[in-house]
Amino acid sequence: MNSRRDLTVQPTTLVRCMRYSHISQLCQLLDPDQAWKHMTDYITKPNGQPKYNFDTICMLEMEVQRPNGSPTRKLIEDWSTQNTTVKDLLDVLVKSKLYRAANFISVDVLKGDKIEENEIILYDKNDSVGSLPCPGPTESSNLGHLNIELGSVQSSSDSNNFSNDNSNSGSIRVHRLDHSSFGGPAENSEGKNLARCPSENDSSPYLASEEVNQMISLKNDVENGKGLDVEQATDPYCSQETVLVGAENEEKKDTQAAGDDMSSLIQDIVEGLEHGDSVKHFEYSKLKLITGNFNRTAVSEKGNFLGQGGFGEVYLGKPDSIHLIAVKRLMDRVDTVMKQFKTELQVLSKYRHKNLLPLLGYSSDGPQFCIVFEYMPNGSVEDRLACKENTPPLSVEQRLEIVKGTARGIVFLHTFDEKPLIHRDIKSANILLDCNMVPKVGDFGFARTGSANPASMKMTTTVIGTSAYMAPEAVKFDISIKLDTFSYGVVLLELLSGLPPFDEEREEKDLASYVDENYSSENALELADRTAGEWPESVFNSLFSTAVNCLNYKKKLRPTMQEVLQEIEDL
């Protein structure tokens, strides 16, 4: 196994790849007397501007009020989203004159020389550690400061957004703890908001002519069955110009236009459920009607709201007493959502498999785009593992079928076409369960084609994914099928342990780090979720070994999902 514990830390090693125990030791050195605050004077954004201001520092201070909270840990986690290296960390510690912490990094972590006061750190071609008396101000390092402030999105969670400054830049900052949605208006390069609010005389949502052409192109692509290519699958954050749909016009629409006769809608749904080979266009007004005007009362309280993701909300549609559908209504920012909408449609219209979420159709004639799926009555694997709504724990047998079915779905994505389709956001929340508990992989908005060569990679300019499931190379914008392997390994650990992928109360907050630090093949069975029933020891140990292999920090040493499926198919 090649885990975080097995890695030799070099100056160029990313801080997010350091051992949890190393970060914990730094916290013990820097939390007392708020020594970490000195670091904020020397940490900059990729453009050289100060990264932290008074408000964000105050937010960091509040971490001490949380159970096991550490301002130092939160600072390092936030800073590490800039691809911060160990050298960057050491540079800042020396500039901040935090020599005890600097020597911990230099001597204990990097196995180098002790740093005396007024020294700077130099590295030769072999990244060995040396020192030189400091003649003056040190030059800041550019290592690892890759720009990820792209796009026009910002975190919706103020409590986790430590990188906010008081400017209205409209940029995205990828946060380790942010697993939620995004929001906020986009701006152009001059800082002008590009949203257009409809006037009182407007009778329909505003769309730029370019967006109208895109919608026509989308309709033609979907109806002609065109597949996904690399250019079409660009990341949804890359554009900075946004034209907003006038959402307030939605209420002005006459909901009676759908009429009382839903027979044609029901017929389309039945055809989709029975045949699964055609993609229907649904009228927005009818989807609005069968979701109770997109009623946000939870389904558990006899409403229609099923949940919310990064790009939209999901509602239960009830065209009659027999047929149920799920309607995903996307956000109303046309330029960014258009790419995600188009990608998901193209993937689901082309890739049909027992273990992929069935697509019934879409809607593009209303103020917001919608995607229509078959309803999955047993919800997500994440919710079932958490026993939400007082549901019973998943049994060992059910978990084994989820393990196998999910792997089959991912393998299909990787092998169906000449070039593999990389999901890029495999997680338990995106694996849904039908009435027979058959797993269906969904949420393909970030999917992208890769190279036909398993050893090769594609490059992107935006970090995509959920941090607890994210492979180490993802922050280097490296895209390959091994991203999905790593994420699957985390899901496998969830199914084996019943533990959440991320837990603020846990010392090692993400599940992969927690298992890496506390379990091995010798004591693996102690990790087993006993609420599932009795695990056969050989089966559990085999799955644990597979999960460990999937989570290898070295991408080349991770198995492909085809190899994973071969290992687990006969269990």
**CATH class, 209-374 region:** alpha beta
What is the average pLDDT across 335-345? 78
C-alpha to C-alpha distance for 159 and 166, rounded to whole angstroms: 15
Flag whether pLDDT at 308 surpasses 90: no
**Is 277 an active-site residue?**
no
CB atoms within 10 A of CB 119: 19
- pLDDT tens digit sequence for 494-508: 999 999 999 988 888
Nearest alpha carbon to residue 52 among 83, 70, 74, 28: 74
What is the third-level CATH fold of 4-149?
A: Death Domain, Fas (1.10.533)
C-alpha to C-alpha distance for 323 and 266, rounded to whole angstroms: 8
Per-residue confidence (pLDDT) for residue 446, from 0 to 100: 86
Per-residue confidence (pLDDT) for residue 7, from 0 to 100: 65
What is the average pLDDT across 535-545? 97
Contact (CB, 8 A) for 4 and 24: no
What is the average pLDDT across 17-35? 90
Binned at pLDDT 50, 70 and 90, residue 289 comes out as very high
Catalytic residue (choose from 235, 332, 335, 425): 425
Beta bridge partners of 370: 329, 363
- pLDDT tens digit sequence for 248-270: 344 344 444 444 445 566 566 65
C-alpha to C-alpha distance for 343 and 349, rounded to whole angstroms: 10
Beta bridge partners of 373: 326, 359
Chain-wide mean pLDDT for the chain?
75
Among 36-40, 339-343, 402-406, the least confident range: 339-343
- The answer to whether 4-149 and 209-374 have equal CATH topology is no
Alpha-carbon separation of residue 541 from 11, 469, 493, 512, 548 (angstroms): 36, 21, 12, 16, 10
Q: What is the DSSP letter of 494?
A: H
Contact (CB, 8 A) for 280 and 271: yes
- pLDDT tens digit sequence for 552-561: 999 999 999 9
Binned at pLDDT 50, 70 and 90, residue 166 comes out as very low
Q: What is the DSSP letter of 211?
A: H
Which residue type sits at 563? E
Bigger pLDDT: 242 or 321? 321
C-alpha to C-alpha distance for 85 and 12, rounded to whole angstroms: 5
Flag whether pLDDT at 245 surpasses 60: no
Per-residue confidence (pLDDT) for residue 136, from 0 to 100: 36
Annotation-wise, does 388 bind a ligand?
no
C-alpha to C-alpha distance for 58 and 473, rounded to whole angstroms: 32
Order the strands of the 280-281 sheet from edge to edge.
Answer: 280-281, 359-363, 370-374, 325-330, 312-317, 305-308
What is the third-level CATH fold of 388-568?
A: Transferase(Phosphotransferase); domain 1 (1.10.510)
Helical ranges in 104-259 per DSSP H: 209-223
Flag whether pLDDT at 297 surpasses 80: yes
Per-residue confidence (pLDDT) for residue 193, from 0 to 100: 35
Per-residue confidence (pLDDT) for residue 72, from 0 to 100: 94
Bigger pLDDT: 172 or 523? 523
Flag whether pLDDT at 234 surpasses 50: no
As a whole-number percent, the residues of the chain with pLDDT over 90 amount to: 47
Flag whether pLDDT at 244 surpasses 70: no
Flag whether pLDDT at 423 surpasses 60: yes
Contact (CB, 8 A) for 492 and 403: yes
- pLDDT tens digit sequence for 95-119: 999 999 999 999 999 999 998 876 5
Domain boundaries, given as residue ranges, for the chain = 4-149, 209-374, 388-568
